[in-house]
Structures are given as structure tokens and as C-alpha cells.
Amino acid sequence: MPAADQTIIGRFAPSPTGALHFGSLVAAVGSYCLARQSGGRWLLRMEDLDQPRVVPGAADAIFRTLEMFGLYWDGEVVWQSRRLERYQQVVEELVGRGLVFDCACTRREILASAPHPGEEGPVYPGPAAGGIPSGRTPRAQRLKVAESGICFHDGVFGTVEQHLATAVGDFVLRRADGIFAYQLAVVVDDYDSGVNQVVRGGDLLNSTPRQIHLCNCLGYPLPFYVHLPLAINASGAKISKRQGARPLTAETASSWLLAALRFLGQEVPVELSCAPAEELLAWACSGFCLAAVPTAAARPPAGLE
């Protein structure tokens, strides 16, 4: 956790691939309240690296939605698509230190040779770490992982441990299509922005050890991590833009915000049940209780999925 005399710098980092939904609001509200309750800063980043998936107008809609809830950010918005040279610089630094290698493996080859499935698919078996066979073309660039485990404290889930070599293997920093990987961009962006408190959805909990390993490789200080419970649909899947989640609406902003706070385990006073969104948010910023946030995924109230 950041030192008591250190200014908290949090952030919200949506992808402009569609409208924000209840799950997005949970992440935004949690990160905003945990930054603001100590007088900290709250930054906004657009994770638009995967340009083919970006929806025209989605970023502007996200800005309007956040403002509708009174979630005003500090400073200028960071756009990942404008930081490609910076990501390339970091990759080249790691290549020069022998920590990143070219990989010619296709997904089919990895599936065929992986000894066992990992937490997010097949564990990379590492055939390219010793060099690319003659006649093969480099596709991706991967970061070597250590044999030792990663252990960290999460603000909601407590102690989390992962052995990267057996859980994921050497992981991609630049994909075969040339796009820089999320794991790289998020670490570099947070470091460059001074972010010291990362609050986000629980679906990214298993990505955190990779990001910690990359921070360690680069000598970056580790932020304090807080992973919030996932909002799921009737089938148990994370509600998302791809799943057709219902977009947030101005007409019912107070209802959305009240539901998000209760979803996060906050005991909103009865007298604030019908309060306007700005009043609810002011209460939440002063009294947000991290210890009350549950770990279990749950469904939003009826009509908000």
C-alpha cells in the first residue's frame, strides 16, 4: 500500500470498443473513490492499442458517461495508440539485456507442444528461447520468466501467489500482428503516469504476476493492487460489451451508482437511496470501506445487466 504521506494516484483505463456498462461502472467507481478519499488524483487512459476493435465515437461517449456520474478525471487523457515509440523503446531495452526473445511459434504449435493448460490457455513450452530454427520467421516477442514464484498482497483478495513458469510460461510483449501486448503497455503507462494504486476488475487478477515480473525486470516500483468482484450475467460469464451488456444511461444515473456501491459491499444510508448521483458519490468518497468489498462475482440487480 502507498505510504501514508504519499499522494495516491489511481486510474481508470477503459477500451473504446463500445459503451460503458455496469461492470465498467463498478471499476470506475471503486478506483475513483479509493483515490479521492485520501485526496489523491484519478487519471483516465484509453486503452486503444487494438485499433481494429476500436468503435468510432466510443471514446467520446465514455467521456460523456463518466461526466454524467460526476467522475471527473485529472490531467489529460492518455491514449495508448500515441505511445508506440515508448513501448518499442522498452522492448528494445529488454532485448538488449537478453530478457526478450523472438518467437516463431504459431498458436497451433504451442497448443500441440504445451505440456498442460495454464490459467489462461496453453502454457508456453519455450522452444524458441534457444533460437529460431533456420527458415522460420519471427512472429512475436516474448519476455523470459523466472523459475521463482510471484507473491503479492491484493487489497481485496489478500495474498496471491503464482508460479509464472508453470502458469503461463514466457509471455508475449509484442504480438504476431505487431500490436504491443496489454501486459507491456499497462506496466509502462502506469509507471510513466506515476500510478501507485491500481484498482480494476477481478478478471485481471491472474495477469498481475506477469505485470509484477515485468516491473521487476524494468526496476519499476510496484503499485498497490486492488481487484474488485466481477459482475456476471445469468450464465455466469463476465458481463461485457461483446456479450451485449446494457449501456449506462443518464436517466437512471442515481440507480446505477447506488447499485454499483452496494455491489461493492458499501452500506449506503437509507436516506441516500433516492439521492442524486453527485450526492451519492460524495458520500462514497468520504466513507468507502475497502474491507467491505466482497471477493465473489455476482449478478447486478435486475435490469442492469
One-letter-per-residue 3-state SS of 206-262? HHHHHHHHHHHHHCCCCCEEEEECCEECCCCCECCCCCCCCECCHHHHHHHHHHHHH
Place of cell 481494429: 52
Architecture of the domain defined by 84-151+159-182:
Alpha-Beta Complex (3.90)
What is the CATH topology of the domain spanning 9-82+190-292? Answer: Rossmann fold (3.40.50)
What is the pLDDT, as a whole number, of residue 103? 86
- Number of other CB atoms surrounding residue 10 within 10 Å: 28
Predicted local confidence at residue 56, as pLDDT = 95
Check residue 97 and give its pLDDT.
96
The confidence score (pLDDT) of residue 148 equals 86
Whole-model pTM above 0.75? yes
Cα torsion through 28, 66, 258, 236, rounded to 10:
-50
Which regions in the chain score pLDDT beneath 70?
1, 3-4, 106-121, 125-138, 241-244, 250-251, 303-305
pLDDT at 107: 66
Q: Where are the domains of the chain?
A: 9-82+190-292, 84-151+159-182
